Amino acid sequence: MQTAWNDTAPIYRQLAQQLAGQLLDGEPPEGAPMPSVRQLAQQYLINPLTVSRALQSLVDEGFLEPRRGLGMYVTEGARARLLRSEREAFLRDEWPVLRERLRRMGLQGSDLDWGNTQ
């Protein structure tokens, strides 16, 4: 998988965000193992140390747990905690900017096509 990394954040942070997005989608499910560092490094074409840093950041946030000799596993409740964290970050950081942009353009909620994205 070729991922376009950018200069806005360190690659390990971008990978951690990408993996967190997959966790939000339920991949892998809670209690299941994550792919190995080597598998992820090969998949994303990056250094295994970068992958290790990304996984460690997800461990530090409580979304993964290391199991000695077995690898990293998705913690129970990780998706709910991640969803709560992502919602809080969106409402704190992104929504005010988006709301102001919509106001400037004169757009109302009724102007937006919310569609059925489920």
Q: What is the pLDDT of residue 16?
A: 97
pLDDT in tens, 51-102: 999 999 999 999 999 999 999 999 999 999 999 999 999 999 999 999 999 9
Residue 29: both structure tokens together: 């499910």
Q: Is the model more confident about 54 or about 114?
A: 54
Res 1 pLDDT > 60: no
pLDDT in tens, 3-54: 789 999 999 999 999 999 999 999 999 999 999 999 999 999 999 999 999 9
Res 116 pLDDT > 80: no
| Assessment of whether the complete model's pTM goes beyond 0.85 | no
Please report which residue ranges of the chain form alpha helices under DSSP H: 11-24, 37-44, 48-60, 78-89, 95-105
CA distances from 16 to 53, 55, 110, 114 (A): 8, 7, 35, 28
User: Rounded CA gap, 85 and 69, in Å?
Assistant: 30
User: Rounded CA gap, 81 and 52, in Å?
Assistant: 22
